Structure 1
């Protein structure tokens, strides 16, 4: 489907058009819609055609078109969510889950697509933040800010200088980032490989553009727009990108929100704690269907 600025997005829809509820899954920075493959499997197994499940590759990710770096922003992602909703679920209630920058895009919906708010009957924020990402130290108080600011540009430079096939053969930096920064414990080899593949397939414009915009992200003040909407916030104790205190601040900004902390998990909860994420989605879906 086509965005409001003319980009083509890769979108996948499971379930009938007349399903009573649509579930939208918004993935993280440098990933693609396959981030949610465990949850899609679990939801289809549990609900069959009683719900509609929609995933998509964000602009600059996966099989979607690459925008210029200046258009790799959270407001653009929020407007793209609106485009996906307009095309796949033009009416009826919505449950939406967002991981990392996908969750930040959800926090921008009140600014960019406020008309969607009355239809949102459940929100799941996974490993994400409402702002102040410029304070993140990656768990390294002394050198953390230096590493945080330069790591995306190291990956972007590798993407510019080395072919994709060469980085696939020698994913030295990408594997270290996956193991040391993105994932907690335990680490399943298939999940490490999946994260590494997604990093290798991410363009330099996407890496640097979204990083710059995330450092400016500040939507804590607008979270009250979700007051009263059943909301759950999930985070891992080993999340170095959006640490637990970010999740706590996010939950505190929404009246009635629940905060759940997963021991030893890192940033990739949809992989690392797939059952927890699926179960919490099911809680919101069951409530919406009831």
Structure 2
């Protein structure tokens, strides 16, 4: 079921729900930068219907949504494209759609950073409602090089100079989507975002979602991502089950970022998926589903006792 909610500043957010509304546990899925809720669809469907990867898990309600400036949610001025606003949006999604009951948060990439920022800005909400957290292909800081996609030296300098000229031009600011033919993006996106031998669905979903992204979303959110430092906020999750996941071939948030999170949350579980890239929710559907399902089972068990 799809619906639309409106945030405190008037921004409309596209939301999709699946699974029974009366389920004992709700999972909230937050997607990454330049993506939208479609990237979580395989995991959401698996959790909601209880596939083999979620065996033994009680019926689960799943809520996923498009961040502001992404997908079918409203665009917003560049000054409002911040992790702080994404965290406040997440709090409003919870308040409006999941006002009670155990809650498992799962954030991919920028969605994971928004989840950390939620802990920083709304610690009481996390303390009272959140029973488990999945941090998927994300980082708690140190992303100063994200704007150059990992390049250094002269290549980085040349890339930034070209990027600044492009993003200031009307060819960039007036476009409604990055590309009209997703297949043309494959040559650039597959080696950057996907691991070794990705399946067709992972490639197609990645290219289609990013092709639909507004160009100003790419440039507008870059500053908040490169400034992100969420190490201290991770302490709010301590004492709760936390699943940290990363692909061994992730070029945007390599395993060292996952280990940095684990250093702050030594009781968390860390999974490195061999040969996988950054797009774990579509590359490793069963593995990601299984780990989120474990958080759901823990939440349901805690509630039962």
Q: Normalization by structure 2: what TM-score?
A: 0.86
Q: 1:189, CA displacement in angstroms?
A: 2.7
Q: 1:154, CA displacement in angstroms?
A: 8.5
8 Å CA contact 1:30, 1:61 repeated in 2: yes
Q: 1:151, CA displacement in angstroms?
A: 8.6
Matched, 1:70 2:79: yes
Distance 1:194 1:66, change over 3 A: same
Matched, 1:182 2:186: no
**Partner Cα separation in structure 2 for residue 220 and residue 226 of structure 1:** 11
Selected match of 1:234 from 245, 266, 284: 245
**Partner Cα separation in structure 2 for residue 54 and residue 7 of structure 1:** 18
Selected match of 1:44 from 40, 45, 48: 48
**Partner Cα separation in structure 2 for residue 155 and residue 235 of structure 1:** 32
**Partner Cα separation in structure 2 for residue 266 and residue 148 of structure 1:** 23
Residue of structure 2 in register with 1:206 after alignment:
217
Distance 1:145 1:222, change over 3 A: farther
Selected match of 2:144 from 125, 134, 137: 134
Residue of structure 2 in register with 1:14 after alignment:
18
Residue of structure 1 in register with 2:269 after alignment:
258
Gaps (5+ residues) in structure 1?
none
Identify the range of structure 1 (33-42 vs 249-258) with the bigger mean alpha-carbon deviation. Answer: 249-258
Q: 1:2, CA displacement in angstroms?
A: 0.7
Distance 1:159 1:141, change over 3 A: closer
Q: Normalization by structure 1: what TM-score?
A: 0.90
**Partner Cα separation in structure 2 for residue 150 and residue 229 of structure 1:** 44
**Partner Cα separation in structure 2 for residue 143 and residue 273 of structure 1:** 35
Question: Counterpart of 1:10 in 2: which secondary structure?
Answer: strand
**Partner Cα separation in structure 1 for residue 111 and residue 117 of structure 2:** 10
Question: CA offsets, 1:18-71, max 9 Å, x none?
Answer: 321110000011111111111112112217982211010110111100001111
Distance 1:72 1:154, change over 3 A: same
Distance 1:89 1:170, change over 3 A: closer
Distance 1:161 1:247, change over 3 A: same
User: Between Structure 1 and Structure 2, how many residues are aligned?
Assistant: 288
Distance 1:144 1:53, change over 3 A: farther
Selected match of 1:169 from 159, 162, 181: 181
Q: 1:87, CA displacement in angstroms?
A: 1.1
Cα RMSD of the aligned pairs, angstroms, is 2.5
Selected match of 2:296 from 278, 285, 288: 285
> Which residues in structure 2 correspond to 1:114-125 (within 5 Å)?
114-118=123-127, 119-125=129-135
Question: CA offsets, 1:201-242, max 9 Å, x none?
Answer: 111221111111101000112211111110010001111111
8 Å CA contact 2:182, 2:207 repeated in 1: no
**Partner Cα separation in structure 1 for residue 68 and residue 297 of structure 2:** 31
Selected match of 1:58 from 67, 89, 100: 67
Q: 1:193, CA displacement in angstroms?
A: 2.2
Residue of structure 2 in register with 1:80 after alignment:
89
Matched, 1:32 2:32: no
Matched, 1:247 2:231: no
Q: 1:191, CA displacement in angstroms?
A: 2.0
